[in-house]
Amino acid sequence: MVFEFLNNLGWFAFLSLIPFIIIYLIKPTPSTLKVPSLMFFMQHTKQSKAASWLKYLFRDLLFLLQLLVLLLLSFTITQPFFSAFTDVVSDNIVFVLDTSASSKVLEDKDLSRFDIAKEKIEEFATSENSLVLLKSEPILALQGVSKGELKRYLSRLEPSDDVTDISSAISLAGTLLEKDQGRIVVVSDFANSKGSDFINSKSLVESKGVDVDLVDTKISNRSNLGIVDMIISEDTVNLYIKNFNNKTEKVSLKFNNELKEININANEVEPFVFKLKDNLTRVEIVNKDDFLIDNSVTIVKPYSNSINVLYIANTPSKYIKAVLNSIDNLNLVIATPPVVPKGDYDLYIIGDVNKKDIVFDTFGAIKRDVEENGKAAIILSNPHIKDIDFEGLITLNFNDLVNGGSTSINQINKFTKDVEFGEVKKVYSVESKGNVIVETSNQSVVELFKLGKGKTVYYGIMEHYSDFHLTPSYPFFWNNLIRFLLDRKDLNEVNLKAGDTLVLDNQTIVLDKVGVYDVNNAKFAMNLLNEKESDINFVYQNKDIEYSGSELERVKTEVDYDLNFYITILVTFLVLIEFIYIKFRGEI
């Protein structure tokens, strides 16, 4: 313990004691009074020697109180403080709790690693606690709460099926202690499945004087067989299954009401390929182990296998027919007006038609199907388009043919990305009322419209005024355009992995639970599919890493204590005593 003073000039304040003592010692000149001797004798006999002694004592006590107050006030001007080494950092702990999928691993006595982690935190909890949840994106759950409030929160908390970014969590915890002293305690199995090496964040935080303790929730090696990756191509699914055990395992797989067995060597990955048959498929490893989250995957296919297309034209384009016939699972029906067959079509394509062959309500019926049932329609530009009444199917006013030029893409999306439309010599001048995707010379070439529940597109490139139909981009454009209009997403885009974020209508959703999601009438599936998260026996290979045991090491640090606060309290107390004493003497 060391005493120091911040203001050495403050010692001059003690000079104020000199006039105080002088004033106190100055006695007034005594006055001569004549009193009867009998009165003096009567009063003197009523006083005892003890009372006379107390009178002078009380008088000296007031002096001592005032002297002590003045001494203390002068002492505060020197700004005194003392330094001492103490274990204050244990009074403020930021806990980083692993709530990722691997925290569900079952250890001995059917306790999960998450249960073990909660017990550790309750054991280490102190007077001031904060809690950061360790997931794909760290979450600050509690800040500066009592031990009781921390325990109540932990009793309600459940683990997620998310991946682990330890580095980001330690960095977030470090920001909570930038102004306050304390320590960080990370309670995890340290299966770091996302982000950078957490040792870098740990070292950075510790360089700022904050101790970081690592508490491992792994007790022993556990058994695991897991599905660690999945790739879908059309209706073909490629699963990758890893044996994390130290011996060869015979793995039983259940899928499409079938059962198949495959042998996987120790610590190796085996592919498994099968065809999707239903809109919802579940594949499951029948073998039981200590980590069940990665033993199954659920695959959604939120649309039917086939696409039914009705192409209406008196002179159908051979290029359009060829590209439509090249798309898998697309059923093409070509109709020549006035005969337009009815049916359950997903997409209507309207090409070069003669006005005299169009029956009333042909396009009106298509409009209602698009509007009410979420179907789609594409109107192809042609020499007779100005004469056709589309009965509200498309809201464009067609004027004369005008010169075109090089095309420019206004919006990069699924059907325009990496597509070169080239030069269009002539296009119809139109009064655009939709979303112009591609244009030339300020004239719409590809325009998108929202019609009720469905969509319509104006395709303004005529084959005899452009070479686009002869380019490699042509079939890709049509394939992607049809999938976009019918909301036929790539199955890899709707079957997501843990830690992925889903963005729909400016809404961001973090998927941290395995299962099937229904968001805005769109189905998505989330599966773990993370080899690092499934590696439940992972050991961090770094000789500089030390894990804390059942107790946290007490860390001593030098702390400065300002004495002015305590002196002020003492002075206030002495002034109060002085006031009571004067009141007792009857002077106020």
* pTM reported for the whole predicted model: 0.68
Cα separation, 525 vs 497, whole angstroms: 8
pLDDT at 562: 73
Q: Is 411 left (phi over 0), alpha (psi -120 to 50) or beta?
A: beta
CA R_g for the chain = 42
CA dihedral 38, 42, 44, 47 (to 10 degrees): 180
Strands (E), 472-512: 495-497, 501-504, 507-510
pLDDT at 53: 43
Cα separation, 183 vs 571, whole angstroms: 36
- Domains of the chain, with CATH numbers? 2-80+562-585 (no CATH), 88-221 (3.40.50.410), 224-287+489-531 (2.60.40), 307-485 (3.40.50.880)
Contact 410, 442 (CB under 8 A): no
Count CB neighbours of 568 within 10 A: 13
Backbone angles phi, psi at 247, to 5 degrees: -145, 160
Cα separation, 90 vs 92, whole angstroms: 5
Count CB neighbours of 138 within 10 A: 21
pLDDT at 70: 83
SS3 labels along 390-405: CCCCCCCEEEEEEEEE
What number of residues does the chain have?
588
pLDDT at 229: 96
CA 405 centroid distance within chain: 47
Q: What is the pLDDT along the chain (588 residues), one digit of tens a residue?
A: 666 777 788 788 888 878 877 777 675 655 655 555 555 444 444 444 445 444 544 456 777 877 888 888 888 888 887 666 555 446 789 999 999 999 999 997 789 999 999 999 998 888 889 999 999 999 999 999 999 999 999 999 999 999 999 999 999 999 998 776 789 999 999 988 888 889 999 999 988 888 899 999 998 899 999 999 999 987 899 999 999 999 999 999 998 888 999 999 999 999 999 988 888 899 999 999 999 999 999 999 888 778 999 999 999 999 999 999 998 889 999 999 999 999 999 999 999 999 999 999 999 999 999 999 999 999 999 998 988 999 999 988 899 999 999 999 999 988 999 899 999 999 999 987 889 999 999 999 999 999 999 999 999 999 999 999 999 999 999 999 999 999 888 888 889 999 888 776 667 777 789 999 887 777 889 999 999 999 999 887 765 666 665 556 655 555 566 778 888 888 888 888 878 877 777 766
